[in-house]
Structure 1
Amino acid sequence: MSLKHIVFGLSSVPVLAEAIGMDEKMQGDVLCFEDDLSVGPLFILDTKEGQAGRRQWWQQMQGTAPAAATTADMFEEAAAPVVESAPEIPGDEDRFRELKTMLKEDPELEIWIWAGQNSKDVTGYFWLVSQLYDFSGRVHIIYLNNLPFLNEKGAVFYPTHLHQILPKEFLKAKKLARPVSLAEFELDGDEWHRLMNENAGIRILEGGKKLRGEPATFYDKDLQLQAGKEFTKAWRIANQVGGKLKYPLPEHFLGWRLKELVREGKLESRGELKTVKDFEIKQPGGEEATATVPVENA
């Protein structure tokens, strides 16, 4: 039997790789899917059009592509992306195709999906398992849902993300590995299709594997309240709001929301509206007016 470990996010790779080196029964490569599917559009993501639309959204959010006309446009079926304008960027789709090829070529290959109790891992699990029905019996899940672990000081804590766990603690967690049942393939596959059709702006974990969809604007009021009367670095505002959340959102996402608030006139900015580190923001009024770079021209 050969083994492939699956994680969602680069921060989980080093600790799991170190744990694998401690136990010969866990020997196998780590495959990382990087896209955070807990945020952004998911509509028809099982098609090339949907994948191209999501790549466009990520580029816009990171300041490497023109902005959409409105936030709503990115989450409306009617606002279908122009596929021709989206470059082919190697990503999770390519990694999945490679994984599927390996499963077909090596009938002894099993995969272990590692997931922490956070919306990114759970959404990633739904996406992955919805496409692996043909390999039932060879797909295992290790869901560290509300489980106690020991930290560096020997105290008990309840991690939400894999990177918070000490490598040696993974050796205990491996005992939780179990095959994904046929019923789970059906139910969790249906849940993924529900998430795609719902196409919410963000997905929030309520407990277990239950995700609640909310609009992309869900934390806009928090961002506005955190902004003061004087200019503050946008990344600092994003970190302050994100740090208060049980399941942090990507800095790029909150930075994108700040740019959208500037476009709507709800915040003022100074600097180029590209990445979250390139500009400052404040509440409207107060200081002497400062020229704002329109988002669509950033």
Structure 2
Amino acid sequence: MGLIHIVFGQSSVPVLAEAVAMDEKMSGEIRCFEDDLSVGPLFILDTKEGRAGRRLFWQQLAGIEPAGPAEGEAPAAEAAGDPDDADLFKSLKAQLKEDPELEVWIWAGQNARDVCGYYWLVSQLYDFAGRIHIIYLNNLPFLNEKGAVFYPTHLHQILPKEFLKAKKLARPISLAEYELDGDEWHRLMNENAGIRLLEGGKKIKGEPTLFYDKELLAQSGKEFVKAWRIVQQVTGKLKYPVMDQFLGWRLKELIREGKLESRGDLKTIRDFEVKQPGESIENTTTV
């Protein structure tokens, strides 16, 4: 029997790969879906138009103009590192059809990215019921490097040897879950919130794109501070941190709206500083 492990985000791959190498019963291929579905548009994501809209979102976050590529250049979506999970999913379905013995284990930590990724996958895998398993590490205790108990929110926080215990949680997704969780995915697409937060269990709550703007402004003072430090201070307060790239984009939007001033190159959060509008001791450059 073949086995495919699925994770959401590259950071989960190394620890799971190490765990798989420890146990031949877990031996199998690891597939990683890169798109973080907890942020950005989801409307009609099951269509080419919806996927195109999402690619534009990632280009926007990366600061790439949406104009078409010049001859011989890579598409802007690729340049932005935009993952094409649709092709990876097509490949997965093809493998499942070709090999009736193949099973899939979906690994999900207690965070919005993994849960949204699970909803997206399960909404499309009904035809393979009984062969698709879920391992949802929801509010479960694990041991850290010092042997102390902790409750991880993300797979990459778990020691490889601890995954060997977690594998016992693998269970087939039920027919009721295919229906209910598939409906939940369609609700998320139709709601089309700017960001999605995990409230506990598998409950996802949508919030507007500017949800974190107030906190970003609150962490900004009258003197210039590195953008990455502002982002770090905000994420440090969150139970389920949102991706740095998203918060960096929101900082740039606040600058464009005149709610913050900046100096430096508005590329990554390592390249610029921000402060509240108004005079400061230092010379300022308003962007």
1:38 aligns with 2:38: yes
1:278 aligns with 2:248: no
Residues 112 and 142, structure 1, Cα contact 8 Å, conserved in 2: yes
1:290 aligns with 2:284: yes
Paired AA for residue 170 in structure 2: A
The separation in 1 between residues aligned to 2:236 and 2:48, in whole angstroms, is: 35
Give runs of aligned pairs for residues 248-263 of structure 1, distance below 5 A: 248-263=241-256
Residues 52 and 86, structure 1, Cα contact 8 Å, conserved in 2: no
Of 165, 173, 177, which residue of structure 1 is paired with 2:170?
A: 177
The separation in 2 between residues aligned to 1:263 and 1:155, in whole angstroms, is: 46
Displacement of 1:230 in angstroms is: 0.9
Paired AA for residue 127 in structure 1: W
The separation in 2 between residues aligned to 1:291 and 1:224, in whole angstroms, is: 18
Paired AA for residue 65 in structure 1: E
Residues 109 and 138, structure 1, Cα contact 8 Å, conserved in 2: yes
Give runs of aligned pairs for residues 100-179 of structure 1, distance below 5 A: 100-179=93-172
Task: Give TM-score, length-normalised by structure 2.
Answer: 0.92
Range with greater deviation from structure 2 (271-280 or 122-131): 271-280
Displacement of 1:289 in angstroms is: 6.8
The separation in 2 between residues aligned to 1:279 and 1:196, in whole angstroms, is: 34
1:93-135 CA distance string (max 9 Å, x none): 1111111111111111100000011111000100111111111
The separation in 1 between residues aligned to 2:64 and 2:238, in whole angstroms, is: 27
Paired AA for residue 56 in structure 2: Q
Residues 232 and 282, structure 1, Cα contact 8 Å, conserved in 2: yes
Matched residue SS, 1:218: helix
1:54-83 CA distance string (max 9 Å, x none): 11111111222369xxxxxxxxxxxxxxxx
Of 236, 239, 263, which residue of structure 2 is paired with 1:243?
A: 236
Residues 200 and 214, structure 1, Cα contact 8 Å, conserved in 2: yes
Displacement of 1:277 in angstroms is: 2.1
CA pair 64-15 structure 1, distance change in 2 beyond 3 A: same
Paired AA for residue 162 in structure 1: L
Range with greater deviation from structure 2 (269-278 or 193-202): 269-278
Displacement of 1:279 in angstroms is: 1.6
Matched residue SS, 2:22: coil
Task: Give TM-score, length-normalised by structure 1.
Answer: 0.89
Structure 2 equivalent of residue 200 of structure 1: 193
Displacement of 1:86 in angstroms is: 6.8
Q: Taking every aligned residue pair, what percent have the same amino acid on both sides? A: 78
Runs in 1 of length 4+ with deviation above 6 angstroms?
A: none
Structure 1, unmatched stretches of 5+, are: 68-84, 294-298
The separation in 2 between residues aligned to 1:93 and 1:267, in whole angstroms, is: 37
Paired AA for residue 35 in structure 1: D
Displacement of 1:272 in angstroms is: 2.4
1:216 aligns with 2:203: no
Residues 10 and 34, structure 2, Cα contact 8 Å, conserved in 1: yes
CA pair 142-90 structure 1, distance change in 2 beyond 3 A: closer
1:7 aligns with 2:7: yes
Paired AA for residue 176 in structure 1: L
Residues 238 and 255, structure 1, Cα contact 8 Å, conserved in 2: yes
1:189 aligns with 2:161: no
1:163-193 CA distance string (max 9 Å, x none): 1111111111101000000110000000000
Structure 2, unmatched stretches of 5+, are: 68-74
CA pair 98-285 structure 1, distance change in 2 beyond 3 A: same
Matched residue SS, 2:104: strand
1:240-259 CA distance string (max 9 Å, x none): 11121111111100001001
CA pair 86-64 structure 1, distance change in 2 beyond 3 A: closer
Task: Supply the RMSD in Å over aligned alpha carbons.
Answer: 1.6
The separation in 1 between residues aligned to 2:223 and 2:255, in whole angstroms, is: 15
Paired AA for residue 2 in structure 1: G
Residues 6 and 106, structure 2, Cα contact 8 Å, conserved in 1: yes
Displacement of 1:278 in angstroms is: 2.2
